[in-house]
Amino acid sequence: MGEEVGRAKVMVVEDDAEVGKAVSRKLTSDGHEVEVTEDPRPVLERLHAGADWDVVILDVGLPGMSGIDVLHELKKAGSFASVIMLTGDNSAQTATTCMRAGAFYYLTKPFRPYELGAMTESAARYSSLRRQLAAARIPGALDHSTDRLLVGTSAAMRKLRSALERLASQDVSILIQGESGTGKELVARALHERGMRGARRFVALNCGAIPETLIDSELFGHAKGAFTGATADRPGVFVEADGGTLFLDEIGDMPLAVQARLLRVLQEGEVRPVGSNLERKVDVRVIAATHVDLAVAVEKQRFRQDLFYRLNVVVLQVPPLRERLDDLPLLAAHFLKKHGGTKPPALSPEALDAMTGYGWPGNVRELENAIMHAVALHHGEVIVPDSLPSAITRSSASSQSMPVSMAREDGELEPLTEAKRRATAAFEKRYLITAMERAKGSVSEAARLAGLDRTNFRRLLQRHGLEATTFKA
């Protein structure tokens, strides 16, 4: 669970000492920082003095001051903590009273440990999102710089940011690997902005999006009259980036013939425009990115080995969103600020849970599109699950009804993170099969039905070992 949301600060207010100890043991074992008290008054004093927590677990039946009264005080003081109410009364009236008073959720005693752990995880995520949205409403608190977009509390993102700090000032070739939509260009921009070339130009070129007949001209430029349509000289991206940084995205899709000419430019530091006999010296830092395994591409003779070694000096791996779901509230808050207008809507706890239970095959780019979709369709001040793209809500409904074995072969309960990832992978495969069956084997049509680009959809098929030909009608 700690891998999901990180270390949360939890305050437990419970007058039954045994219950308090049990809650503390469970949440401490999950990696959280837990305080337990039987008296709510010192908690409120600390709150008014500026203290706050991520989650407050609050007994309804406290002596002297009811849990509902404490909840009202927390809300009045502007606490960002998500409050989980504990009650021995399972009546609908008690539940309604708690939720109307602003509780995140309530649990009826006795409760199961995994139920408490999962609820605390969701509550901590929601608190993180509320804090980020509050910061977004302060002018300048959330900007669009690469530092803000690369922020994350996950271990993978901390590792990536640490590597960026070390590499930014070193003028070496860097290869960025990661799935489509993970933010490889943002990583490249961060390297450029923090490095010694930060004051010069950053030029990006997607090698997979340019026809083979034009890529030479895009890279190296062309002379007037070099080919039909070349009505004027064109410098090319190497010249445009002279003194700065050139980012070559999806370099694994570059044709072999062009790879040879690219290698020469990297070795000699000179470019010759198409149709010209003149060469020009360029001083460019090249950062390349790819979603394919270039070592495998070299083995299959789809990528030049000498170019691979030239680019593969340092490798940075950008994690997919499904492996850093604890960063999702931060990213969602950024995109709500970016697309939500002057008063961005909030995500309901149910919407946030649906999003964290989804596999995000399109990664951060898909998350941004989902937020734009929700902002366009929501009503009021809160985004509910119905405003999210149907793929996300279908995934949430399926995972809730899907029979999943949560025990290992030795009978021990499987960790929540492992079980969730396995369930997500199983759903993703079934979804792909359904889409391909409906599209009668057409990858393009199946990708359209799934709301994904064709390249990303085909990559998902390969990940799950699915052959398009087996679905042909």
- Model pLDDT for residues 45-94, shown as the tens digit of each residue: 898 888 889 999 999 888 878 888 999 889 888 888 999 989 887 666 77
Average pLDDT, the chain: 83
- What type of residue is 272? R
Strand order in the sheet with 33-37: 33-37, 9-13, 55-59, 82-87, 105-108
The reported pLDDT for the residue numbered 412 is 61
Q: Which of 251, 253, 250, 256 is nearest to 301 (CA)?
A: 256
Q: How much is the average pLDDT of 425-441?
A: 81
The reported pLDDT for the residue numbered 322 is 87
For the segment 124-135, what is each residue's pLDDT rounded down to a tens digit? 888 887 777 666
Please determine, for residue 286, whether its predicted confidence score (pLDDT) is greater than 90. Answer: yes
Please determine, for residue 144, whether its predicted confidence score (pLDDT) is greater than 60. Answer: no
Q: Specify which of 203-207, 326-330, 392-396, 463-467 reaches the highest per-range mean pLDDT.
A: 203-207
For residues 17 and 114, which has the higher predicted lDDT (pLDDT)? 17
For the segment 5-28, what is each residue's pLDDT rounded down to a tens digit? 468 899 999 988 999 999 999 999
The reported pLDDT for the residue numbered 263 is 93
The reported pLDDT for the residue numbered 289 is 95
Q: Which domains does the chain have, with CATH numbers?
A: 2-136 (3.40.50.2300), 155-317 (3.40.50.300), 324-471 (1.10.8.60)
DSSP 19-70: HHHHHHHHHHHTT-EEEEES-HHHHHHHHHTT---SEEEEESS-SSS-HHHH
Please determine, for residue 403, whether its predicted confidence score (pLDDT) is greater than 70. Answer: no
In the chain, the percentage of residues whose pLDDT exceeds 90 is 27
Burial 157-194 (b: 16+ CB within 10 A, else e): beebeebbeebbeeeeebbbbbbbbbbbbbbbbbbbbb
For Cα atoms 272, 274, 278, give the angle at the middle one, nearest 5 degrees.
35
Please determine, for residue 119, whether its predicted confidence score (pLDDT) is greater than 50. Answer: yes
Lowest-confidence region among 110-114, 146-150, 247-251, 385-389:
146-150
The reported pLDDT for the residue numbered 7 is 81
